[in-house]
């Protein structure tokens, strides 16, 4: 009975698996396009600390499309070259204002953790925020079903916003 089941499954794969398009296969295996951006105001250092968490395959696809190069965020030999792409991309797709003043971020680096990439940013010294506004559009140039979850924490008070394509604006008052 088990052999018959495996044989039937193999036959279905041979018929339907070879006719499926690459797009359909990607959708079937990865139907959710989501990232998170954690913004934390460190009152002791008076700096914003940001971690963007993005699925590796999605991030590699968008970087490849945007910069027209082969992207591999897992290979240590090309980490420095990938740093430049990641830094530039995130700088254009994550902007924050603290009390209406644009916040400049310093790129600290990225690391792959299981199936995601964490991108680390830190601001220069900034006053404690009363209001944080953001423009977050990570992966919007690749997926029209992209969703970005933005967590903003100030003095232990955490507020979360879900930003769905094409929406980009986030605003929280503390």
Distance CA 97, CA 8 (A): 58
Tell me the β-bridge partners of 37: 52, 150
Pairing verdict, β 157-164 and 131-136: unpaired
CB-based contacts of 140, cutoff 8 Å, min separation 6:
93, 146, 165, 166, 168
* pLDDT tens profile 91-117: 999 999 999 999 999 999 999 999 999
> What is the reported pLDDT for 30?
61
Q: Taking the CB of residue 73, how many other CB atoms lie within 10 A of it?
A: 20
Q: Note the pLDDT of residue 17.
A: 41
H-helix or E-strand containing 147?
strand 147-154
Task: Determine the pLDDT at residue 103.
Answer: 97
Residue 29 is predicted with a pLDDT of: 54
pLDDT for res 170: 97
Find the helix packing angle between 79-93 and 56-67, rounded to 10°.
Answer: 90
CA dihedral 38, 41, 42, 43 (to 10 degrees): -160
pLDDT in tens, the chain (174 residues): 433 333 333 333 333 343 333 444 444 356 789 999 999 999 999 999 999 999 999 999 999 999 999 999 999 999 999 999 999 999 999 999 999 999 999 999 999 999 999 999 999 999 999 999 999 999 999 999 999 999 999 999 999 999 999 999 999 999
**Cβ count near 149 (within 10 Å):** 15
For residues 136 and 65, what is the distance between their CA atoms, to the nearest angstrom? 19
Q: Residue holding tokens 């953790």?
A: 113
Using DSSP, state whether 124 is helix, strand or coil. coil
| Residue among 56, 60, 61 at smallest CA distance from 115 | 56
């Amino acid at each position: 009975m088990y052999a018959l089941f495996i044989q039937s499954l193999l036959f279905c794969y041979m018929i339907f698996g070879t006719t499926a398009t690459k797009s359909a296969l990607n959708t079937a295996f990865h139907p959710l396009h989501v990232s998170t951006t954690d913004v934390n105001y460190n009152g002791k250092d008076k700096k914003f600390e940001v971690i963007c968490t993005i699925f590796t395959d999605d991030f590699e696809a968008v970087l490849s499309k945007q910069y027209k190069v082969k992207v591999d965020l897992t290979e240590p030999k090309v980490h420095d070259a990938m740093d430049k792409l990641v830094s530039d991309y995130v700088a254009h797709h994550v902007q924050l204002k603290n009390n209406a003043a644009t916040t400049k971020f310093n790129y600290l680096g990225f690391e792959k953790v299981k199936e995601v990439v964490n991108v680390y940013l830190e601001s220069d010294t900034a006053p404690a925020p009363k209001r944080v506004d953001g423009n977050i559009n990570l992966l919007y140039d690749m997926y029209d079903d992209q969703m970005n979850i933005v967590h903003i924490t100030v003095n232990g008070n955490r507020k979360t916003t879900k930003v769905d394509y094409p929406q980009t604006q986030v605003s929280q008052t503390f």
